[in-house]
Structure 1
Amino acid sequence: MSDEYSLPAVLERIYENQLALEAAVMELVILIERQGSADAGDNARGALERIGENSGFIRQGLARLIAQEKN
C-alpha cells in the first residue's frame, strides 16, 4: 500500500480537517455572539470544547500509529 494512503496518513488528514472546521466554527460563534445570540453561541462553544478535549487524544493515537508503522 502506498504511504500516501496509509491509515496514519488518512487519519492525519481527517484530524487536519477537524482543526480547520474548529476554526471555522469559532469564527461563526464570534459572529453569532456579536449579533446577540448568546444561547446559540454557548451551544456552539460547548461543541468546540468537546473538539478541543478530543484533539489531544486523537493526536496521541496518531503518534502511536505512526510509530507502529515505522517499526
Structure 2
Amino acid sequence: MPTEYSLGDVLERLYQNQLALEAALMELTLRAECHGATDTGENVRGALQTIGENAGHIKQGLAKLKAQGPH
C-alpha cells in the first residue's frame, strides 16, 4: 500500500524545493555577474527577493498547518 502524504508534508517538500532553487539561482547569478551579465544579475536578484519574501509567508503557513494536527 502506498504511503499517504499529508498536505503539510507535500507543502514542506515544495518549500524545501523552493529554497534549493533559490540557492542554485543565486550561485548562477554570481557566476553570470562575474562574466559581465549585470543586467541579468539585477533581474534575477529581483526575482530572488520575491522568492525570499514569499518564503516567510510559506513558512508561517506551514507552521499553522502543522499546529492544527494531521488531516
Compute the TM-score of the two structures, normalised by the length of structure 2: 0.91
Larger RCO, structure (CA 8 Å, separation 6 or more)? 2
1:14 alignment partner AA = L
Instruction: Tell me, in whole angstroms, the C-alpha distance in 2 between the residues paired with 1:50 and 1:33.
Output: 20
* Distance in 1 separating the partners of 2:3 and 2:58: 20
Once superposed, what is the RMSD of the aligned Cα atoms? 1.6
Aligned pair count? Answer: 69
Q: Residue 5 of structure 1 aligns with which residue? A: 5
Indicate the residue corresponding to 2:16 in structure 1: 16
Higher helix share: 1
Unaligned runs of at least 5 residues, structure 1: none
Aligned to 2:37: 37
List runs of 5+ in structure 2 lacking aligned partners: none
TM-score (norm 1): 0.91
**Structure 1 moving runs of 4+ over 4 Å:** none
Residue identity (%)? 61
